[in-house]
Amino acid sequence: MSSESKTIINGNSKGNPDKDANRDPISGAPGAHPVGTGVGAGLGGVAAGAAVGTVAGPVGTVVGAAVGAIVGGLAGKGVAEAIDPTVEAAYWRENFKTRPYAKDSTGYDDYAPAYGYGVSAYGKNPGRSFDEAESDLQKDWPRARGQSKLNWDAARPATKDAWERVGNRS
């Protein structure tokens, strides 16, 4: 099978399990989540850099940022690995019709981007509540919505639902 004709299943191409293992860049362990690792690295680096910089000056800030990025990346990886987008998508596909905001005329394909947005936004906004993050979420919805026909007012309850479902397990 040529590389162009590989079937993509759940984001992984068939035929090369090592390539698809999403290896951690530090440990080599499979299952790294680059988004969560990056978010954690950024937040950890800023926090550690500021703390060290206060004590050691500008050079300490640079060293602290590097160390903090590694520690924060590992923390972000842990948060991201706790959230399985495939499980979330299956849950919402099965349950969206039971939600009070779901309209009979609107199918799962319109709600799916809102659910995915809520899940990913939760991981990108550690320590923030949905209400605290909502103005940013609303602003970015037109870019995140993909083919969904839902405007923010219609997508908001589904986004919040997914955010809270993930947040209640963290």
- Calculate the CA dihedral of residues 14, 17, 21, 26 and round it to 10 degrees: -140
Place of tokens 């399985």: 84
Domain assignments of the chain as residue spans, ordered by start:
31-82, 84-164
| Residue 91 tokens, joined | 């849950």
83: left (phi over 0), alpha (psi -120 to 50) or beta: beta
Structure tokens given for 126: 């550690």
pLDDT of residue 84: 85
Distance CA 45, CA 161 (A): 31
What pLDDT is attached to residue 63?
A: 47
Residue 18 carries which side chain, given as an amino acid letter? Answer: D
- The answer to whether the CB of 74 falls within 8 A of the CB of 24 is no
The secondary structure element, H or E, covering residue 12 is strand 12-13
Is residue 149 within 8 A of residue 112, CB to CB? The reply is: no
Q: Which one is predicted more confidently, 55 or 98?
A: 98
> Which amino acid would we find at residue 74?
L
Higher-confidence residue of 90 and 33: namely 90
Instruction: Tell me the H-state helices in 83-151.
Output: 85-95, 108-124, 130-144
The structure's pTM equals 0.55
Mean pLDDT, the chain, whole residue set: 71
Q: What is the pLDDT of residue 145?
A: 94
61 pLDDT above the threshold of 80:
no
More confident site: 25 or 166: 166
Using the predicted structure, report yes or no on whether residue 2 has a pLDDT greater than 60.
no
Question: How do residues 107-161 score in pLDDT, each as one tens digit?
Answer: 999 999 999 999 999 989 989 999 999 999 999 999 999 999 999 999 999 999 9
pLDDT digits (tens, 9 = 90+) for 6-17: 333 334 444 444
Nearest 10 degrees: Cα torsion 9, 84, 119, 66: -110
For residue 170, is pLDDT > 70? Answer: no
Contact between 117 and 162 under an 8 Å Cβ cutoff? The reply is: yes
Write down the pLDDT at residue 168: 87
Q: Could you tell me which residue, 73 or 104, shows the higher pLDDT?
A: 104
What is the Cβ-side half-sphere exposure of residue 82, based on CA atoms within 13 angstroms? Answer: 14
